[in-house]
A = this chain, B = another copy of it.
């Protein structure tokens, strides 16, 4: 029978978990899932090697929780920026602009995202894909469907075209060097897409 739930205790747990997830992100980004060393993660987060197992059941579940974390943050980042503008063409521009910015600002998370989506582990791939469904819908419904409705875009099939655009985003966005500099300017990519979509 615990005396009473200590608020501080919860704060500590949440802080530690956060530090561990951050270190995990960097380790997974640098080494990949299989190459990542669980002990290093804990050490790099400033803890002893065993500590990480007080927070995650296994390396695998750590990765799965990280996937959710990344997808949620990414989606929140993008939708907040995309939905505040009205014009669908502009939305697409913002989508790429903000999307590329997210990669630059969250380099390690981006690398985990890209390697996982293309990696051999099907469970991770599936989870990542599922976690990104909201973003597919954002593109398909809040950008393409609206634009088609307004006659700004051609009459393309919104769903598969959303897939195509997501694909282009994930493919081009992943072309970053270790300092976060993109190989493609977002404007070039969004222009390319807008050109392809214009009515």
Residues of A within 8 A of B (CB): 1-2, 29-32, 34-35, 46, 48, 111, 114-115, 117-121, 154, 160-161, 163-164, 167-168, 170-172, 174-175, 183-184, 188-189, 192-193, 195-197
Contact = CB atoms under 8 A, between A and B. Distances in A.
The copy count of this chain in the complex is 4
Most B CB within 10 A of own CB, among A31, A161, A171, A184: A171
A89 to B, nearest CB: 14
B184 A163 contact: yes
Given A1-B46, A118-B117, A188 B174 contact: no
A46 B2 CA distance: 9
Given A32-B119, A119-B118, A171-B170, A164 B193 contact: no
A171 B160 contact: no
A99 to B, nearest CB: 14
A178 B125 CA distance: 13
Given A32-B34, A164-B189, A172-B167, A118 B118 contact: yes
Contacts of A117: 118
A111 B115 contact: no
A171 B35 CA distance: 24
A92 B2 CA distance: 50
Contacts of A174: 118
A48 B2 contact: yes
B121 A32 contact: yes
